[in-house]
Homo-oligomer: A and B are copies of this chain.
C-alpha cells in the first residue's frame, strides 16, 4: 500500500506568531509597530504581515498613525486590540437567581440582566428563564447572537473538564444535559459549562482579591460551603468534576456538615430566640430570624449574636484550615452572599486559623459580591475565545 502524503500546508509559524501578537495586543492598550517588535522579538516585516492578517480578520483595528514615545521621525502605525470584535456571556444559574453578564473582549461589562426564580419545576421552565434573561441582556446592549463568541455558564453541580455535568440525580441530569445543547440550538454560540465555585475562583483571580495569585481557593460560604480550587493557575476538576466538594466536612471536628455561614447564623439565632432564658435583641424583631439580623445585632453589641459569630468564625476557620493545609493555596477568598458581612469575622477566623497550622494561607473576603460567579463565567468564556481566536469567524454587527 502506498502512503498518501499529508495534503494541507499548516501555516504553523504564522499561527504561532499571530497568537503571540494577539496575546500582546489583547492585554495592552494601543501599540506601535515598534512596540510590537520589542514585545515579540519578531521582525518589523513579520509584525506588519501578521497585523495585517489580524486586521483583516477583525481582531485588530488600526488607528491613525501617531507617536507615543518620541516627537521626531516618521509616525508609527498604531494597532489596537478590537475589544468589540465580539462579545462573551457570563451566566450564573444559581438556586434562587439567574444572572447574565454581557462583556466585550476585554471583559468590560456591556450589559447585565437578572431574574429571580422562586419555584422552578421543570428543566424546560428553567431553560426558558435563562433564555429570557439572555435575550434581555443582549437586547439592552443591541448585541445580536452572531456577535457572541462564547458563553460561560456556572451551575451548582459537579462539572468535568469537558463541561459535562455529572450528577447522579436523574432530574438534574436531564435539566443540565439539555441546557447547554438547548442554548446552543437557540443562539448558535458555544456554551461552556463549569462549576460555580470554580468560576468564582476564576473570577477572583481575574478581578477580585486573587490578582497575581496562582494558587487560590475560593470558599463560597453562604447557605452551603462550596469551594473552587486553583493550583498554578489551573482549576482542579478531579475525575468526575467533584474537586472542591465539601461533604468531607461531616468528618471534620467542630464542623460536622456543609452548612454555610448564613445558615448557621440563622439557625443559631432562631435557637437562641426559642430559648426563653436567653436575653437578646433578636427577640424583638418580627418574623423568622435572618442571618443579616444576627450580623446587625452583633454589630450593635448584642452578646448572644456576638457569641454566634464567634462560633461561626471558629467553624469557618476549621474549614479554611483543612483547605489551606491540604491544598496550600496562597490565598483563600470567602465569597457568596455573606461575603461582606464576613469581613467582620476575618480577625477571629485568622486567630483560630493560626492554632491549626503554622503556615496559614492569607484569608480575604470577596469584593465581587454576587457577581463572583458571573464574572468568573465571563473569564471562562474569554479563555475559550483566546484559545480559539484564530479559528473563530468574526461577524460584524
Q: Which A positions have Cβ atoms within 8 angstroms of B?
A: 1, 3, 5-6, 12-13, 16, 34, 37-38, 41-44, 70, 158, 161, 168, 213-215, 227, 231-232, 234, 236-248, 250-254, 318, 321-323, 325-330, 356-359, 361
Q: Give the CA-CA distance A5 to B41 in the complex, in Å.
A: 8
Chain B's closest residue to A46 (CB) is: B6
Q: Is the interface of A mostly helix, strand, loop or mixed?
A: loop
Contacting residue for A254 out of B251, B323, B327, CB 8 A: B251
Chain B's closest residue to A240 (CB) is: B328
Contact B330 A243 (CB under 8 A): no
Contacting residue for A3 out of B38, B213, B227, B245, CB 8 A: B38
Contacting residue for A326 out of B13, B244, B321, CB 8 A: B244
Contact B42 A329 (CB under 8 A): no
Q: Give the CA-CA distance A214 to B239 in the complex, in Å.
A: 8
Known: A234-B234, A236-B327, A248-B322. A5 touches B356 (CB 8 A): no
Known: A6-B41, A253-B251. A245 touches B16 (CB 8 A): no
Contact B359 A240 (CB under 8 A): yes
Q: Which residues of B contact A361 (CB under 8 A)?
A: 239
Q: Which residues of B contact A326 (CB under 8 A)?
A: 227, 243-246, 248, 322-323, 326-327
Q: Give the CA-CA distance A160 to B338 in the complex, in Å.
A: 33
Contact B239 A328 (CB under 8 A): yes
Q: What's the number of copies of this chain in the assembled complex?
A: 2
- Write 19 A-B pairs (CB below 8 A) sorted by A numbering: A12-B13, A215-B237, A215-B239, A231-B231, A231-B238, A231-B243, A232-B234, A236-B236, A238-B328, A238-B329, A240-B328, A242-B328, A243-B328, A245-B325, A245-B326, A247-B325, A251-B253, A251-B321, A251-B322
Q: Give the CA-CA distance A70 to B41 in the complex, in Å.
A: 49
Contact B251 A356 (CB under 8 A): yes
Contact B327 A238 (CB under 8 A): yes
Q: Give the CA-CA distance A318 to B250 in the complex, in Å.
A: 11
Known: A231-B238, A243-B231. A248 touches B328 (CB 8 A): no
A95 CB to nearest chain B CB (Å): 21
A214 CB to nearest chain B CB (Å): 8
Contact A359 B41 (CB under 8 A): no
Q: Which residues of B contact A43 (CB under 8 A)?
A: 5-6
A238 CB to nearest chain B CB (Å): 3
Q: Which residues of B contact A252 (CB under 8 A)?
A: 251-253
Chain B's closest residue to A41 (CB) is: B6
Contact A328 B41 (CB under 8 A): no
Q: Which residues of B contact A318 (CB under 8 A)?
A: 251
4 residue pairs, one from A and one from B, having the closest CB atoms: A238-B328, A242-B328, A239-B330, A215-B239
A195 CB to nearest chain B CB (Å): 11
Q: Give the CA-CA distance A323 to B236 in the complex, in Å.
A: 13
Known: A13-B13, A16-B12, A328-B239. A1 touches B359 (CB 8 A): no
Q: Give the CA-CA distance A214 to B327 in the complex, in Å.
A: 18
**Max chain B CB contacts within 10 Å: which of A16, A38, A357?**
A357
Q: Give the CA-CA distance A320 to B321 in the complex, in Å.
A: 18
**Max chain B CB contacts within 10 Å: which of A38, A44, A251?**
A251
Q: Which residues of B contact A323 (CB under 8 A)?
A: 326
Q: Which residues of B contact A357 (CB under 8 A)?
A: 247
Q: Which residues of B contact A358 (CB under 8 A)?
A: 168
Contacting residue for A231 out of B237, B330, B359, CB 8 A: B237
Q: Give the CA-CA distance A43 to B10 in the complex, in Å.
A: 12
